[in-house]
Amino acid sequence: MLMEMAETQHESKKKLLEAAVYVIRAKGYTATRVEDICEAAGLTKGSFFHHFTSKEALALAAVEHWNAAASELFSTAAYQSIKDPVDRLVAYVDFRKSLLEGELPEFTCLVGTMVQEIYETHPPLRAACDQSISSHAAALEPDIAEAMRLYGVTCDWTPRSLAIYTQVVIQGSFILAKAKGGPEVAAASIDHLRRYIEMLFGRSGSRTNAETRTQRRQYARRRRHVSESDIDRHDKTG
């Protein structure tokens, strides 16, 4: 009996979290009422307040729920297995574009939506949103650093600054999608991000593995930061 009650409570909490993720993306944090979340979850206010003391408490938990789902989605995505770091970064951008499906609340970002409203009024929630977006950018930094080393790129920008820029473009594309009422402008913006990354690493369009290796050797000779043996070793080990 106790086990059944615990499972029921877990399921009701999960329903509230999933409802919050959708409703807040659809209406915004300020306009979303506890009643709206309960209606979307098919639960009573009594159930809501059994799990959460306030709407902000629910929102903080919803950010954690969002982060966990995003972590699983991206960590198991096919692009993670690509050997070349630039190809991996480009495939990441393509993956982000592939997620632009359904209605606006289905593909826009929970934390990006909330932080635009609450950055001054709800400091703990702002910090949670910042951590969510920043951690996503941080996950790209090792790939960018590897690409810079492999392609001999030295410049006044850093792996962190480019990683953050990817999120600036993606979050901005969601805002414009809302303004325009559809995903087309977001898709075009993400396409530009793809081209920008390719340009930074001397790439243009899709290439075969042989073409990629040849180009990396040309970069290595020109910049003299990476040896051809390093390139061959990378291609063999992945």
In SS3 terms, 9-76 reads as: HHHHHHHHHHHHHHHHHHHCCCCCCHHHHHHHHCCCHHHHHHHCCCHHHHHHHHHHHHHHHHHHHHHC
C-alpha to C-alpha distance for 220 and 228, rounded to whole angstroms: 7
Q: What is the pLDDT of residue 203?
A: 80
pLDDT over 90 for what percent of the chain? 80
Pair 178, 184: CB distance under 8 Å = no
Q: Is the pLDDT of residue 225 over 70?
A: no
Question: Which CATH number fits the domain 77-237, given the four candidates 2.40.10, 1.10.357, 1.10.3470, 1.20.120?
Answer: 1.10.357
The pLDDT-based confidence of 4 (bands split at 50, 70, 90) is: very low
The pLDDT-based confidence of 74 (bands split at 50, 70, 90) is: very high
Answer yes or no: pTM beyond 0.85.
no
Domain positions in the chain: 1-65, 77-237
The CATH code of the domain at 1-65 is 1.10.10.60
Q: Say if 1-65 and 77-237 have the same CATH topology.
A: no
Q: What is the pLDDT of residue 232?
A: 53
Measured over the CA atoms of residue 224, residue 228, residue 229 and residue 235, the dihedral's sign is: positive
Q: What is the pLDDT of residue 234?
A: 53
pLDDT over 70 for what percent of the chain? 82
